[in-house]
Amino acid sequence: MKLIYRIALRLSAVLIPLMALWATLFYFMTVDEINDEADDALADYSELIIIRMLAGRELPPLNSGSNNSYSITPIDREYAESKSHIIYYDAEVYIPEKEETEPARILSTIFRDNDDNYYELKVAMPTFEKNDLVRTILFWIILLYLILLFTLIGLTTWIFHHSMKPLYALLQWLDSYTPGKHNSPVPDNTNITEFHRLNVAAQEAAHRSEELFERQKQFIGNASHELQTPLAILGNRIEWLLDNTEPNEKQVEELFKMQRSLNHIVRLNKTLLLLTKIENGQFPESADVDIADLIREQAPLYNEIYESRHIACHINLPDHFIVSMNDSLASTLVTNLLKNAYVHTNPNQTIDVVLHGRTLTIANDGDAPLDAEHIFDRFYQGNKKEGSTGLGLALVKAVCHYYNCGIAYRYTNGKHCFSVTWP
């Protein structure tokens, strides 16, 4: 998830409880204020009624057009002493003129006249409908929430993109950065301290990476060349022993084993060196290579090498398929795919080589699927074959990665299928 989307989600999550809390406080403050005003009016009205009653004057009419109403009920001393003399509460009252009930604020007060008679006065004043108030507040809160949310997200997005341009420039540079190639310097057109420090740190890390890359190339080159000489000497000495001495049968057998092991080490050393050179990008030169002709050239050679196994190779190729690649790497790609198919195909079975569109598929018969997740890893061997270094498919993957080609393995209809797709 992008950072801006995460920020938007968190803003939305934070606004919801804040707006809910604000709406709750606003509702109770509004109700409290309305009740205070109503209570003051009820107190004044009840005081007017009590004064007129105690003075023996005419009481106000029960309905003066304002829907206010009151009732005076005689009570005994025990009831009067058991109740609070002033009580405010909400209730539903019936209004005869409207023939309906409405919410009202009611004041209940107890007083006595000059003859020690106790009365309970209830004064009612129509007030607001709380459900309507809740719906109104809820509507405006939701509207306010949406307005605030879209406003904040819009402003945050604009400010974020404007402020984070140096970071986006750095990320774009990191995406295009490749050790060992000509890379532009880290963009540093910002006066923000944190971004400037980040750019400086990235440039220093790039310098360290380039230094390590060069040291690695030198080490691999030196190690490979240093190993080639003693390996060649060992091979020559074994051959000299076989040609110029008279070892017994057991010694000859051991010398041949040593020679096979030494040849395996030589091939392994050359393959690892080639693999490292590919990964280090040391094949910059490219030319137009006809993959179809290359397959037609290599396939008969492997037919001759593995003729004794009676493997049938069916080829379906167009007249030409030209790609821009290094000649050596193109040959490495094709020969390793073909060799892998021939080595891992049982006698009297078939190999299919198909080049359709921009995809080359080489399929060979097999008994069970391989581990598609690790098949292209170095030294992975599903079924160990004598003389195999376990680096053939790793070389194929390295070449494909070098030229941004797609490489895939699947097991379909009893066949191992390896596909390479050129961009």
The pLDDT, as a whole number, for residue 361 is: 92
CA distance 174 to 201: 12
CA angle, corner 370, sides to 364 and 375, nearest 5? 95
Longest dimension (CA), the chain: 151
Ranges of residues in the chain whose predicted pLDDT is under 50: 65, 387
CA distance 242 to 66: 128
Distances (CA, A) of 131 to 9, 39, 93, 134, 136: 32, 20, 16, 5, 9
Look-up: residue for tokens 């804040």?
Answer: 18
Look-up: residue for tokens 């420039």?
Answer: 169
Q: How many residues does the chain have?
A: 423
Q: E strand or H helix at 362, and its extent?
A: strand 359-365
Using N-to-C axis directions, what is the helix angle for 3-55 and 130-163, rounded to 10°? 150
Q: Per residue in 21-35, pLDDT tens?
A: 887 888 788 878 888
Please give the radius of gyration of the chain, using alpha carbons only, rounded to the nearest integer.
47
Q: From edge to edge, which strands make up the β-sheet containing 359-365?
A: 312-316, 350-356, 359-365, 415-421, 406-412
Q: Report DSSP state, residue 309.
A: G
* Contact status, residue 344 vs residue 366, Cβ threshold 8 Å: yes
Look-up: residue for tokens 């003051």?
Answer: 40
* Contact status, residue 206 vs residue 185, Cβ threshold 8 Å: no
The contacts of residue 53 (CB under 8 Å, 6+ apart) are 59, 72, 113, 119
